[in-house]
Each structure stands twice: as C-alpha cells, then as structure tokens.
C-alpha cells in the first residue's frame, strides 16, 4: 500500500538577523501519513502563529523544510523533476483563504479555469476545454451558464470560492489543501462550500487537509484532527472525541472560547489565565507552559504524546500515567 503523503519528522524554522540570528520554530518535528486508498478529511487546527499555514506551504512545496522530509507517493517532493513534478503539481491542489485576492480582475473567470487546462494539456480542443470547465463547475453546484464569461466582481464571495474548488477539481487531484476556505465567506454560504468539499472527498476520492481555526466547521467536515500550538502537536485524534471531550488544557481553552450560537451555552466557563501580551519565549518545554493553568515543574521538558484511547492522544504530563506514543506514529491515532 503506497502512502499518498508522508511527513517525516518535519521541522521548519524561520531565521532572521545577520549577526545575531534569531529563529522561530514554526513547525516542530511533525510526522504524518495519509494513505492513498482511503481518502479522508484531516483538520489541522490552531490559532494564528500555530504553524498551520506553514504546514500547508511545506506540503505544497512552496517552502523547503529545515529538517525532515516530505514524501509524495514515496518520493521526496523537493527532489521531484520534470514529469514527476508536473504530476505532483497536478495532483496536489490548494484552495486559499481569500476568494477575492486570487482572481485577476482584468480577466473573466474562464481564465482561472482555462490556464490549468492549457498548462496540463487536459483538453484536445476548445470545445473539450469548455466541457471540462462546465463539468467542474456543475460538480461544485454552480450553473456554468451563469458563471462562464463573467468577471470576478460580478460574483459573490461564495461563488468565487466555489470556482476555486472547481479549478482544483478540474485537475483531478488526489490531495486538496484547503487553507481557511470559509473564513472570509458569509456564514450563510459556508455551509454550501463545506458541503462541496465534503462531496469531493466522497464522490471523487480526494483527500482533504482542512486548515482552520474554526473548530465548529472542523467538527462538521473532518474525520480526524490535529491541534497545533506554536508549531507543536498538542492533541490529535478522532474529531468527535477531541472536540466533545478535549483533554489537553489548550484544546479545552480553544473549545471553551468558541462562541456557540446557542443561547443556553454560555461563553467562557474556564478563565483565560495569561494575556497574550505576557507570553514569553516558550523555551524547550511545553509550548503552552506560559498560559497553562496546570503548569508544573516537569512541563519545562517537552512532553511526549500520551495515548488516551485508540483515537486520541495529548502532549501533556497531566496524562503522564498513560502509555507514550512516538510522534512518528501520530497517524495511527487518526481514523480515516
């Protein structure tokens, strides 16, 4: 069984400064595997600065990892050339956050769809290209005759974001990286975009990595979840378990901070201990140390992942009596 995508102990550090080099660890030793035969939806969640966008950039090959390897179908993506690189570029697609910024306002939306068709020589004739475009648009629930030939400013944010999904779909990808695809879209349109994404996974066998800070939508669309904080995995596992019974103090804080649209569920039962302004450097220990209400002496050493159940693990000494699980085996926790 071939692995579609594999992260092997990937670390990404951003350094700056010429004489005194200071570096920020954006992603710390993350290992992850997605298999090819079982398409899934995996959520990577975390607040800003947690490294979730870095993870997307790494996986699309936009930036190289500082250490570790990223393999696509067994091949290191930084070493792909020619034919193989084209295949990688075609099979791994992205949908970005801002549906307004990805369109060139001077072209009709056809341009966005026809460029990949030309580039990857997907169509033999103009008529076939149009058919393909129409087919992709229909698949995301848009009517081609209402969309083709229009300019981006004539379309709503929700329509534009669905065109982006259609563009990705055109290339018959194996993996779709969706970086906050609904955060800039009206709440009433979110549902339809999420539904579109999920049907891609079901009907076209596309694996999706859904990157978000919004745990409500994550819960609805994903099978499994990885919660990141400052580049480190805090908690991972089955999305139902992690969201309904969060164990790591950080996950609990996140879940408790969601403003639920439910009048009977009040906000903020646990107090936020530290202000974000007082955050010092996390140092070598648990990244959440400075804000954690349960911080202990031993937290100054980076905690490993402790397995709480078949499909849940937390990187926290509160669960120190549970068996440890190596970070390389993170994927075993994630149901597909």
Residue numbers at the binding site for another protein (CB under 8 A): 47-48, 156-159, 186-192, 194-195, 198, 213-217, 219-220, 240, 243-244, 253-254, 257-263, 266-268, 272, 275-277
For residue 152, which phi and psi values (nearest 5 degrees)? -55, -35
User: Which of residues 96 and 219 has its CB atom nearest to another protein in the complex?
Assistant: 219
Whose tokens are 């990187």? That residue is 315
Least spacing, CB of residue 233 vs another protein, in Å = 18
Least spacing, CB of residue 193 vs another protein, in Å = 9
User: Which of residues 167 and 291 has its CB atom nearest to another protein in the complex?
Assistant: 291
User: Which of residues 17 and 82 has its CB atom nearest to another protein in the complex?
Assistant: 17
User: Which of residues 74 and 259 has its CB atom nearest to another protein in the complex?
Assistant: 259
Rounded Cα–Cα distance for residues 290 and 281 (Å): 9
Least spacing, CB of residue 326 vs another protein, in Å = 29
Least spacing, CB of residue 157 vs another protein, in Å = 7
Q: HEC string of 271-320?
A: CCCCCHHHCCCCCCCCCCHHHCCCCCHHHHCCCCEEEEECCEEECCHHHC
Strands of the sheet containing 41-45, edge to edge, are 92-95, 175-179, 207-212, 41-45, 224-229, 232-238, 312-314, 305-309, 324-325
Q: How far is CA 266 from the centre of its chain?
A: 29
213 DSSP assignment: S
Least spacing, CB of residue 189 vs another protein, in Å = 6
Least spacing, CB of residue 293 vs another protein, in Å = 13
User: For residue 174, which of 10, 8, 38 has the smallest C-alpha distance?
Assistant: 38
Distance set, CA 285 to CA 156, 282, 300, 315 (Å): 46, 7, 4, 11
Cβ atoms of 251 and 84 closer than 8 Å:
no
User: Which of residues 36 and 195 has its CB atom nearest to another protein in the complex?
Assistant: 195
User: Which of residues 9 and 199 has its CB atom nearest to another protein in the complex?
Assistant: 199
């Amino acid at each position: 069984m071939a692995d579609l995508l594999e992260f092997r102990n990937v670390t990404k550090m951003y350094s700056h400064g010429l004489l005194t080099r200071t570096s920020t660890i954006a992603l710390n030793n993350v290992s992850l595997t997605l298999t090819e035969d079982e398409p899934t939806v995996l959520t990577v969640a975390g607040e800003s600065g947690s490294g979730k966008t870095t993870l997307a950039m790494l996986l699309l090959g936009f930036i190289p990892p500082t250490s570790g390897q990223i393999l696509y179908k067994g091949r290191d993506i930084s070493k792909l050339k020619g034919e193989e690189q084209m295949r990688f570029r075609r099979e791994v697609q992205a949908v970005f956050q801002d549906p307004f910024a990805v369109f060139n306002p001077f072209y009709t939306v056809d341009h966005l769809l026809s460029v990949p068709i030309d580039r990857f020589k997907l169509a033999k004739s103009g008529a076939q290209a149009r058919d393909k475009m129409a087919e992709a648009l229909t698949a995301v629930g848009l009517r081609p005759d209402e969309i083709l030939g229009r300019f981006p400013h004539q379309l709503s944010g929700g329509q534009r974001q669905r065109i982006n999904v259609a563009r990705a779909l055109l290339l018959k990808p194996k993996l779709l990286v969706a970086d906050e695809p609904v955060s800039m879209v009206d709440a009433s349109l979110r549902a339809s975009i999420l539904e579109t994404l999920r049907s891609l996974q079901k009907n076209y066998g596309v694996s999706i990595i859904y990157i978000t800070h919004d745990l409500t939508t994550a819960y609805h669309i994903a099978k499994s979840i990885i919660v990141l904080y400052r580049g480190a995995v805090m908690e991972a596992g089955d999305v139902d378990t992690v969201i309904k019974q969060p164990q790591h103090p950080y996950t609990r804080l996140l879940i408790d901070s969601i403003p639920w649209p439910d009048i009977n569920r009040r906000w903020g039962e646990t107090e936020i201990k530290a202000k974000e302004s007082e955050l010092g450097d996390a140092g070598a220990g648990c990244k959440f140390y400075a804000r954690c209400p349960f911080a202990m002496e031993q937290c100054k050493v980076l905690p490993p992942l402790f397995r709480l159940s078949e499909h849940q693990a937390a990187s926290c000494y509160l669960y120190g009596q549970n068996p440890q699980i190596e970070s390389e085996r993170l994927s075993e926790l994630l149901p597909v």
